[in-house]
Amino acid sequence: MSEEEKFDVIIIGAGPAGSSCAYTLAREGKSVLMIERGDTPGSKNVTGGRFYTYALEMLDSGLYEEAALERKVTHEQIMLLSGDRSISIDYHEPGFNTGGEAPMSYTILRANFDEWLAEKAEEMGAMLACGIRVEELIERDGKIVGVRAGEDEMYADVVVAADGVNSFMAQKAGLIKDIEAHTVGVGVKEVIELPARTIEERFNLKEGEGAARMILGCTEGIHGGGFLYTNQDSISLGCVFMPAKAAERGKTIHEIFQDFKMHPSIHPLLQGGLTVEYGAHLVSEAGYRGIPRKIYREGFLMVGDAAGFVINTGYSIRGIDLAMLSGIAAARAIIDAENTAEVGPQYLKELDEIKIIPAMKAADGFFDVLETPGLYDKMPNLANDVFNNLFTVDGGVPGSIKKDVMRLIKENGLSMWQLIKFGLKGVKSL
Amino acid sequence: MSYIIACYKWVVDEADIRINPDLSIDTKKSKGKISDYDKNAIEAAVQAANILGGKSLGLTFGGPETRLSLKDALSRGPAEGCWISTGEAAKADAAVTAKALAAAIQKISDVSLVFCAEGASDTYARQTAPRIGAILDWPVVTSVSKLDIEGSTLTAVRKLDDCLQTVKVDLPAVVSVLPEINDAPIPGLKAVLAAGKKPVTEIKAEELGIDFSPKTDVTEIKGYLMNRKNIILSEGEAADKVKELAAYLRKEGVL
Ligand SMILES: Cc1cc2nc3c(=O)[nH]c(=O)nc-3n(C[C@H](O)[C@H](O)[C@H](O)COP(=O)(O)OP(=O)(O)OC[C@H]3O[C@@H](n4cnc5c(N)ncnc54)[C@H](O)[C@@H]3O)c2cc1C
């Protein structure tokens, strides 16, 4: 094979994991080829829309200042829907994101963010080939030595699978099987355009500041939840569902999502907006226990969603930052290892050091909390009932709040014992 | 070795263009792309270069954003790229465009064949090839759906309204092709990688010594809506409805 056809590293996928890996490697002088099936990086990628900035700082300090970001999140919101009612909690900290350090998180649009990040990797010297889908891995003497796309073969010392959830490449490498339905959710999302001023008025935001909202009770009882992020001049609105449960309902996910959009507390936020993007994507839900048993073999590493690095706590979802960290960890391992056999074990060490594995372990309990029966319908309904009780003034003699609450718990088919257990599980997982 | 040139245009991707309620055009979010039919012109040049033993070259005229086009164009096969770079391109009319391309072709000098697409996917003015031919005083063949080259003779089948015309010209010549001339392949991995290494010449507008002031000024671009009359003929017998329909159509001047 000629020099032209061999790289130090080939990275499959130019999402946040792939581009961070390429950036780090190229900066250290490695020859890197990134292969992306989209016509431009991020063109077809779907995400909710919040990004935790520290990951960019880790890639290169100050990088976030020129990044393709939307709004700095200063409003953290939680919303509980039930029927046509809702409870909203808005935690606002104007200084949440100041103090000389990088603001904590931003809303983002992937088409812009991914393209920008891949461009940065190119500036560092990485090669990017877009519009190309890798179809096969090339294996020799038990090692992965290259990739095949169409008629073309290309070789490398290490191939990095950064191809996202349900990694086809990891399947080809024999490291994972086809997905299991209970470990992934299906996310649907729309981007709805509105003038910046309108968004600022509707969400009570200062210019450049944004809101991130997690919504419970919008999934017809199906395990899952909604999210809403304010971008510069659009709103990202979506829902994630566990598909196995959704299949048992009469409605399609799309229909439930459309109903969600029409909710009396949601619709006024979107009114007059124009849907400019609709997308659906899988999202890994299993957390720590969803990480495949092996995430490398000689000549091959898995990073980002391909390796299952997503933390979903129900009130926040972290995938983009972990994707970037794991890309950086992989690059460090490749740079430090003496030979290809050392790369994999070194990668595990780097993942530990960069705190992905410890963070995922720590969040493992959330998986059980989020499995709690009633969490997606009965509990938000109960909360709304309690508020209804609290705010009802009809001239009668108010009952004891405690008694009323006990009655409402019962009416919602729940028991005090269930709620205590849920509370304990919640506390334990923190 | 002589050059076989494919002229191509970097246009706004029409899929991203939005028409606002006031009919103004919004291209803020639009990305660029190689005009669709130009991909066939590029492929035709690559094939012709193989036959003629020449060198294929992708030639474009555009502003700074056009730089992005070269990698894409070269991944489609041409051995070299050439870009006439000037902000003036944004307001160029067909005459200016043809002048710029022709001047570049003269500068490249050893050229045996120039391909254009019949029209660009944004304006479809169909003027570039004829005007280049006129400036160079070369034969021009338009609407070409099939092509043969033997020695320095080119035989082309022209697709006209309802017949096919076959013509023969001596090279050098300017040819505008229809999309059915070939299947422009989607570039593979190696082609994409090779594109980054191919030589690209940037010609500054000043080097060409031509006048870029257009004779046609675009004063407005607006979307249009079909105004439908929304007349529904639902009452009465079928025969009466047909009669009524015919009457309406006659009134509209359709029949
Ligand atoms: C609905 C939804 C909401 C989410 N919300 C958030 C959020 O708010 N915050 C957050 O941090 N995370 C969120 N996530 C998770 C986050 O999007 C992912 O964790 C993150 O995108 C993972 O990045 P990645 O680079 O590993 O993979 P991806 O972003 O999936 O990138 C993989 C890339 O590989 C390319 N590719 C795949 N196969 C091939 C192939 N064979 N050949 C060439 N290229 C290939 C793809 O085109 C793609 O560009 C959300 C996910 C979903 C679905």
Residue extents of the structural domains in chain A: 3-69+108-176+292-354, 182-284, 368-429
Rounded distance between C-alpha atoms, residue A6 and residue A119, angstroms: 22
Q: Of the candidates A280, A292, A367, which has an alpha carbon nearest to the alpha carbon of residue A326?
A: A292
Residues near A391 by Cβ (< 8 Å), separated by ≥ 6? none
At residue A182, does pLDDT exceed 80?
A: no
pLDDT reported for residue A3:
55
How far away is chain B from the Cα of A169, in angstroms, using its nearest Cα? 17
Alpha-carbon span A57 to A73, nearest angstrom: 17
At B62, the pLDDT band (50, 70, 90 cuts) reads very high
Mean pLDDT computed over A57-66: 92
Identify the residue with better confidence: A118 or A398: A118
Is-contact A308 A354, C-beta < 8 A? no
**Whether pLDDT at B83 is above 70:** yes
Residue among A34, A101, A23 nearest A59 (CA)? A23
**Does A131 contact B188 at a Cβ distance shorter than 8 Å?**
no
For the segment A188-206, the average pLDDT, to the nearest whole number, is 96
Question: Closest Cα to residue B97, out of B192, B189, B11, B186?
Answer: B11
Residue B27 has pLDDT above 90, yes or no: no
**Which CB contacts under 8 angstroms, 24+ apart, belong to A217-221?**
A217/A80, A217/A81, A217/A82, A217/A376, A217/A377, A217/A380, A217/A381, A218/A81, A218/A256, A218/A260, A218/A263, A218/A266, A219/A256, A219/A260, A219/A376, A220/A249, A220/A251, A220/A256, A220/A259, A220/A377, A221/A376, A221/A377
Nearest to A234 by CA among A278, A188, A187, A196: A196
Cα-to-centroid distance, A17 and ligand 1 (Å)? 8
**Host H or E run for residue A109:** none
DSSP character string of A351-385: HHHTTHHHHHHHTTTHHHHTT-TTTTTHHHHHHHH
Whether residues B189 and A132 touch (CB distance < 8 A) is answered with: yes
Taking only the tens place, the pLDDT of each residue in B117-156 is 999 988 888 999 999 999 999 999 999 999 999 999 999 9
What was the pLDDT predicted at A429?
67
Provide the b/e sequence for B69-81 (b: ≥16 CB within 10 Å): bbbbbbbbbbbbb
- The continuous run of DSSP H or E covering B14 comes out as none
With a 6 A CB cut-off, is A213 part of the ligand 1 pocket? no
Is ligand 1 within 6 A of the CB of residue A283?
yes
Looking at per-residue confidence, does A315 or A342 come out higher?
A: A342
Closest partner residue to A127 (CB to CB) among B187, B190, B193 is B193
Chain A residues with CB inside 8 Å of B189's CB?
Answer: 35, 129, 132, 149-150, 152, 154
Tell me what pLDDT residue A418 has. 83
pLDDT of residue A430: 61
Among A339-343, A365-369, A408-412, B167-171, name the one with the lowest average pLDDT: A365-369
> Does the structure show a pLDDT above 70 at A138?
yes
Structure tokens at A215: 């919504």
- Residues near A363 by Cβ (< 8 Å), separated by ≥ 6? A287, A288, A311, A313, A429
Question: d(Cα A106, Cα A49) in Å, to the nearest integer?
Answer: 8
The H or E element that residue A106 is part of is strand A105-107
CB-nearest partner of A129 from B29, B186, B192: B192
> What pLDDT band is residue B158 in, cutting at 50, 70 and 90?
very high
% of chain A residues with pLDDT over 90: 62
pLDDT of residue B182: 96
- SS3 at position A404: helix
Cα(A76)–Cα(A53) distance, rounded to whole angstroms? 16
CA–CA separation, A164 and A180 (whole Å): 15
Which one, of B219, B218, B222, B214, lies nearest residue B94 by Cα?
B214
The single-letter DSSP state of residue B119 is S
ipTM score assigned to the predicted complex: 0.79
CB A71 within 8 A of CB A344: no
Give the range among A335-344, A391-400, B32-41, B241-250 with minimum mean pLDDT: A391-400
CATH superfamily of A3-69+108-176+292-354: FAD/NAD(P)-binding domain (3.50.50.60)
The sign of the CA dihedral A387, A77, A355, A13 is positive
**Could you tell me whether strands B18-19 and B25-26 are parallel, antiparallel, or unpaired per DSSP bridges?**
antiparallel
Chain A residues with beta carbon closer than 8 angstroms to that of B188:
132, 149-152
Kindly give the residue spans of alpha helices, DSSP state H, lying in chain B: 38-52, 67-75, 94-108, 128-136, 189-195, 205-208, 238-251
Percentage above 90 pLDDT, chain B: 69
Query: Matching CATH topology for A3-69+108-176+292-354 and A182-284?
Result: no
Please indicate whether, in this complex, the C-beta atoms of A132 and B196 are within 8 angstroms of each other.
no
Residue A404 structure tokens: 């009323």
Confidence of residue A389 (pLDDT cuts 50, 70, 90): confident
Task: Please report, for residues A42, B32, B99, B136, B216, the alpha-carbon distance to residue B211 in angstroms, rounded to integers and kept in the order given.
Answer: 41, 26, 9, 17, 14
DSSP A296-314: EETTEEE-GGGGT--EE-S
Q: Is 0.90 topped by the overall pTM?
A: no
Distance of alpha carbon A190 from alpha carbon A89, whole angstroms: 23
pLDDT mean across residues, chain A: 90
Q: Which residue of B has its CA nearest to A35?
A: B189
For the CA of A133, the closest atom of ligand 1 is 42
**CA–CA gap between residue A335 and residue A177 (Å, rounded):** 29
Nearest to A132 among B31, B192, B196 (CB): B192
Distances (CA, A) of A230 to A77, A96, A269: 12, 17, 10
Contacting residues of A for B196, CB less than 8 Å apart? 127
Q: Is the pLDDT of residue A427 over 80?
A: no
The phi-psi region of residue A130 (left if phi > 0; otherwise alpha if psi is between -120 and 50; otherwise beta) is beta
Query: Has residue B53 got a pLDDT over 90?
Result: yes
Q: Measuring CA to CA, which residue among A231, A244, A210 is closest to residue A371?
A: A244
Which residue bears the tokens 């590029």? Answer: B42
pLDDT-based confidence at residue A249 (cuts at 50, 70, 90): confident
- On the question of pLDDT at A68 being above 60, the answer is yes
* Range A208-234 average pLDDT: 92
Alpha helices in A147-289 (DSSP H): 168-172, 196-203, 243-248, 253-262, 267-270
Residues of chain A numbered 119-158 and touching chain B (CB < 8 Å): 127, 129-132, 149-152, 154
| A127 closest CB neighbour out of B187, B188, B196 | B196
Of chain A, the percentage scoring pLDDT greater than 70 comes to 97
Give me the CATH code for the A182-284 domain, please. 3.30.9.90
Q: Which of A19, A34, A45 to mutate for ligand 1's pocket (most ligand atoms within 8 Å of CB)? A: A45
Q: Which residue has the higher pLDDT, B252 or B213?
A: B213
Look at residue A252 and tell me whether its pLDDT is greater than 90.
Answer: no
Average pLDDT of the residues in A22-36: 97
A405 touches chain B (CB under 8 A): no
